[in-house]
Amino acid sequence: MKKEQIFIGNIKKCTEYEMVATTSVGIIINGRIVSSDSYGYTKTNDELYKEDVILVKFKNDFYVELEKLNLLLKLKAQTSARKGHVINEFMMLTSPSAVGDLFVDEKSLKPYYGMEDKSAKVLMRKLKNNK
C-alpha cells in the first residue's frame, strides 16, 4: 500500500443520531404520494472511542484500523463498487449514519509519514510490527 494512505487519527462512537426535517414537499397524484422530499439536518452526538489509531484509507473513502486489517478485508475495500456501501463493521466513514456507528474524526487525521517520499510503498506486515 502507498504511504499516503496511512494516517493517525481518532475513532468516535455515535451516541445520538436524529434527523430533523425543516421542510417537507410531496407530490400527490390521484390520492397517492408519488414523490416526497424532506430537507433539514441531522443532530448527532459522539464520544471518543479510540485515540491516535493508525488508519488506512482506501480509494472509496473508507478507513480501516490497521490492527484489524487483513488481506481479505483490504481486497474487499479496494473492490467495493459503490461509495458508501459498508462491507462490514471494520470499515468506517468520516460521519455516522446511526446510533452506535464507529467513525473516523476527520479533524484529527494527520499523515503517518512525512511529506517526503509519499509515492514509496510500505508493507502492511512491516507497519504492524513497527507501531
**Which residues share a beta bridge with 18?**
43
Q: Is residue 37 part of a domain?
A: no
Yes or no: say if 103 and 94 are a contact pair by the CB < 8 Å rule: yes
Return the higher-pLDDT residue of 25 and 82: 25
Q: Is residue 28 part of a domain?
A: no
pLDDT in tens, 80-101: 644 545 555 678 889 998 899 9
Is the confidence at residue 49, as pLDDT, over 60?
yes
**Of 18, 20, 23, which is closest to residue 39 (Cα–Cα)?**
23
Q: Is residue 46 part of a domain?
A: yes
Q: List Cβ neighbours of 57 (8 Å cut-off, separation of 6 or more).
A: 5, 6, 7, 63
Distance CA 47, CA 44 (A): 10
Q: List Cβ neighbours of 124 (8 Å cut-off, separation of 6 or more).
A: 1, 66, 69, 71, 74
Q: How many domains does the chain have?
A: 1
Most confident of 4-13, 71-80, 111-120: 4-13
Q: Is residue 76 part of a domain?
A: yes
**Structural domain of residue 111, as residue ranges?**
3-23+42-130
